[in-house]
Amino acid sequence: MKVVSRKDFLKFPDGTAFIKGRKWCFDGGLCFKVESLANDWRYQAIDMPDANDSGELFDLLDEMLMAGVSHPMEYDSTRDGCFNDDDLFLIYEADDLKRLHAMIGSALEVAS
C-alpha cells in the first residue's frame, strides 16, 4: 500500500482501489476509482446496499437488521465532489489486491 495526497490521487488511473481519509485516519470504505474528471472523480463504493436515496437506504438497512433480509450491494458510481486538498488516499497496490482477491475467494466459499 501507499499513501498519496489528493493532488497525486487525481493522476491515478480509473480502476484504482483506495480508501479516502485524513492524516492518519482512513475511515472510509474500500472504493474503486471509476472515472477521472478534471479536478474530481467518480468512484464505486462497496460498503452499502443499493438504494435510490438516503431514505430508502435507511429503510433497507433497518429491514436488513430487523428482518434478516438481504439486499444487493450498491452498483452505481458516485462523484466525490469534496475538493478537500487535505484528503489523503491509501492506495492498494498489486500485491495487496492479490491478497484481497484470495481473501474474497475464501469468503465466497463460506458464503456459498
Handedness of CA 5, 9, 82, 30 (dihedral sign): negative
Nearest CA to 34 among 52, 50, 46, 16? 16
Q: Spell out a b/e string for 43-66, using b for 16 or more CB atoms within 10 Å of the CB, else e.
A: bbbeeebebeeeeebeebeeeeee
Supply the pTM of this predicted model. 0.89
What tens digit of pLDDT does each residue of 24-43 get? 999 889 999 999 999 999 99
pLDDT value for 48:
93
pLDDT value for 24:
95
Predicted confidence band at 14 (pLDDT cuts at 50, 70, 90)?
very high
Q: Give dist(CA 29, CA 33) in Å, integer.
A: 13
